[in-house]
Structure formats: C-alpha cells, structure tokens
Amino acid sequence: MRSIFRDFSSDFFPILTYPREKWCEFWREYRKKHRILLEDYSRCNCLSEERERELLLSFSRKCIDMLYLSWTKEIREVKAFTLERIGSIRKQLEIEREDFTIHLVCALGITEKLFVRTLKTYVIMIDPVYIWTHSSLDEIPEIVVKAAQDYRRFSDMVVTTRLSQNEKQKRLNRLLEIISDDISNQNMKKRLQTVAKLLDHYVEYYDWTGFYLAGEDNTLFLDTYVGEPTEHTTIPFGSGICGQAASSKKTFLVPDVSLEKNYLSCSPKTKSEIVVPILHQGRILGELDIDSHRLNTFDELDNEFLGRICDLVAPALASKGESEDC
C-alpha cells in the first residue's frame, strides 16, 4: 500500500536556507531531483525558464515559511488519513494493476495535479503548494483520492502507441465526443484552449499541441498552445511544415522531421509532426500543429481524427473572421 503514495515535499523546504536572491539556484538543483515530473509540469503549463523564475519569486519567504510550519505540524496525520482513504477504495482504484503511483511534489502553485507518464507507470503528481495557496492541507486526503479516481477513468481513455488500431479508434472517437460536448457553448478563444488542453491530456504522444491562425498577409500567428514555449510565433506561408500546410491547404504528416529540408525546428526533442489545415469554404483559417518526441508516431487514424477536430473549430473561426470584416 505505502509504495503507491510517497511524499517528496521535504525536498523543497531547504529553499528556506537560501537567501532569496539565490532561490533560482536552488530551483535549478531541485528541478534536477524531480526532472521528469517538473519538466512535464512546465511543458503542460507552457512555462519558460523566465516564467518559472517569476512564479518562484512571487512567493514571499513568510509564505513558504508558513507552509513549512503547517506541513511539519500536519503531515503525519494527513499522510495516515490519506493511506486509510486509499485503502478503503482499493478495489475501485484497481491497485493491483500497479500502473500508477502518487507523489506529493512541491511545485509553483499553478496546477493541483498532473498525470505524468514515466518509463513504467504514470505518476499522479500532487502539488502541496497549490493546495496550501488555494485551500488547506487537511484537504489533501480527499484531493489525492479524487485524483486517483480521475486517473482510473483517464487510464481507460488515454490514447497510446501501444493500443491496437481498433482500440485506438474507439478511444479517439470517444475523445472527439468529449471535445465536441465541452466546446459546444464556448467562444472561439475558449474553444481552441479547451481543444489543445484535452488533446495534450488524453493523447500520450502529443507533446506539443497548438493552433496557428492565418493573417491577412499570408502569415500564420501562434494562438493557443500547450507545450514548451516556441520562438516561432509567426510563420510565413510556405516556410517550414506549418507554412507548407497553409499554402497548400493540405495535411502534412512527417514521420521523421530530421529528413525534411524545409523544416523549422521548435525543439530538439521533436521527432515527428502532423499539421492539419483548418478550412472553411476553401479558405485557410489556420491549422492545428502537433509535435511528438517519438519517431513515426502519427498514422491515418490521427489524420482523420484531427481533421474532424479542425472541422469542429472551423465555424467559430469563420464567424470571427466574418465579424471582423464587417
């Protein structure tokens, strides 16, 4: 039982032994201890190194000190009750599948939980800093239990490269239904944000997901995205994979980006890419761009699925464009 729930919060509190002007030095070393989790935390929250620095320094020493004092006072009881709650729903969580662990890891207070894929299992990362700043530490047992329940539902929906084609098709269809329902009453901006977040969350190999919108001067402008920040915020039509997809109005599916001559590198981690144009009555409105850190990741099921996603957002983009022309 104890092996699925681990507390790493004590790794963070030595920050209090550093002068505030050296907190960033501490953070760099702390990040190395929890590299996989905190890299994905930054990726999912689109955090640059500078933004991480700003968030870290937004905390006062008094705030972190109060968190530390409360944590040392309450953590033993909180952990005991958390283990008790997990044990009470052991069968519901299907603990015997041994496909997840729960880690308490202090981060920057902007996300309560995160499901992070590691080599063998998923880690449910819970941020005590977020809980401290948004509620109270005594809520951790219920937050952990809810996160574990959410993970179990997630595990039956997540799309991975290990699925059969039939199972992958079923899960993509279900995800399409969820996205369609969630965005039905949203404005254009919110729709794009929701789509990007859900694609990133439920498709394991979508490592950067973003929308580029077409401007009047045959230029693409980066709008909503989930992933590492990129310097390519504007792309001329015809330049790189994205620009070629826009100028040709055709989907580009690239199994190995290193073999492409006309390619704009956003990250050395990117190995493959798919770019799907968003069209309305033959006019290019933008495109959905997805990068993967794995070679030869995308197939025709992804192509068809993402095409349908683009069809969902096209009417809202078209309406926005028409209203701006009036």
pLDDT per residue as tens digits for the range 256-270: 998 887 777 777 889
The C-alpha atoms of residue 234 and residue 238 are separated, in whole angstroms, by 12
- Residue 321 is predicted with a pLDDT of 57
At 103-115, the pLDDT tens digits run 999 999 999 999 9
Could you tell me the two tokens for 120?
């063998």
CA 108, 113, 114: angle at the middle one, nearest 5? Answer: 95
Which residue segments constitute the domains of the chain, with CATH numbers given?
2-155 (no CATH), 165-325 (3.30.450.40)
User: Over the chain, what is the mean pLDDT?
Assistant: 93
The C-alpha atoms of residue 161 and residue 88 are separated, in whole angstroms, by 33
Closest CA to 227 of 54, 39, 35, 32: 39
- Residue 2 is predicted with a pLDDT of 46
Q: pTM here?
A: 0.90
Strand ranges for 12-138 from DSSP E: 100-104, 113-117, 122-126
- Residue 322 is predicted with a pLDDT of 53
The C-alpha atoms of residue 221 and residue 273 are separated, in whole angstroms, by 18
Could you tell me the two tokens for 105?
């890891």
Asked if 1 and 83 touch (Cβ cutoff 8 Å), the reply is yes
pLDDT along the chain (326 residues), means of 10: 82 97 97 96 95 96 95 93 94 94 97 93 96 94 97 96 97 98 93 97 97 93 95 92 94 92 78 96 95 96 97 88 49
H, E, C per residue of 270-314: CCEEEEEEEEECCEEEEEEEEEECCCCCCCHHHHHHHHHHHHHHH
Asked if 276 and 245 touch (Cβ cutoff 8 Å), the reply is yes
At 214-247, the pLDDT tens digits run 998 899 999 999 999 999 999 999 999 999 999 9
Question: CA Rg, the chain, in Å?
Answer: 22
The C-alpha atoms of residue 259 and residue 221 are separated, in whole angstroms, by 25
SS3 171: helix
